[in-house]
A = this chain, B = another copy of it.
Amino acid sequence: MTAVRSLDHRTAPGPAGARPTDESTELSDNERAYRHLRREIIEGRYEQGERIIESRVANALAVSRTPVREAVRRLETEGLVTTEHNRGAQVRVLTETEVGDLYEARARLEGFLSELAAQRADAHDVEAIATAAEHFEHTVAAVDPESVEGLRKVMAANDQFHAALVSAGRADQLYRVLTSTVDMPLVFAAFERYSPEELHRSAMFHHLIAGAVAARQPERAGRLMTEHILQGRDAAMRRLRLDPNRTPIEEGTHE
Seen from chain A, the residues whose Cβ lies within 8 Å of a Cβ on chain B are: 25, 28, 30, 66, 69-71, 73-74, 76-79, 85, 94, 97-98, 101-102, 104-105, 108-109, 111-112, 116, 170-174, 176-177, 180-182
Contact = CB atoms under 8 A, between A and B. Distances in A.
B177 A181 contact: yes
Contacts of A104: 112
Contact of A173 (B77, B101, B180): B101
- How many copies the complex holds: the figure is 2
Given A70-B70, A73-B74, A94 B173 contact: yes
A99 B97 CA distance: 31
A85 B25 contact: yes
A174 B105 contact: yes
Nearest to A76: B74
A79 B70 CA distance: 16
A85 B23 CA distance: 11
Contact of A77 (B66, B78, B108, B170): B78
Contacts of A182: 173, 176-177
A76 B70 CA distance: 11
A77 B112 contact: no
A109 B105 contact: yes
Given A77-B77, A78-B77, A105 B69 contact: no
Contact of A116 (B28, B101, B172): B101
Contact of A174 (B69, B71, B78, B101): B101
B97 A170 contact: yes
Contacts of A66: 66
Nearest to A84: B25
Nearest to A111: B108
Given A74-B77, A104-B112, A105-B112, A181 B176 contact: yes
30 contacts: A28-B85, A69-B70, A70-B70, A70-B73, A71-B73, A73-B77, A77-B77, A77-B180, A79-B176, A79-B180, A98-B172, A101-B116, A101-B171, A101-B173, A101-B174, A102-B173, A102-B174, A104-B112, A105-B109, A105-B112, A105-B174, A108-B111, A108-B112, A109-B109, A173-B182, A176-B182, A177-B177, A177-B181, A180-B181, A181-B181
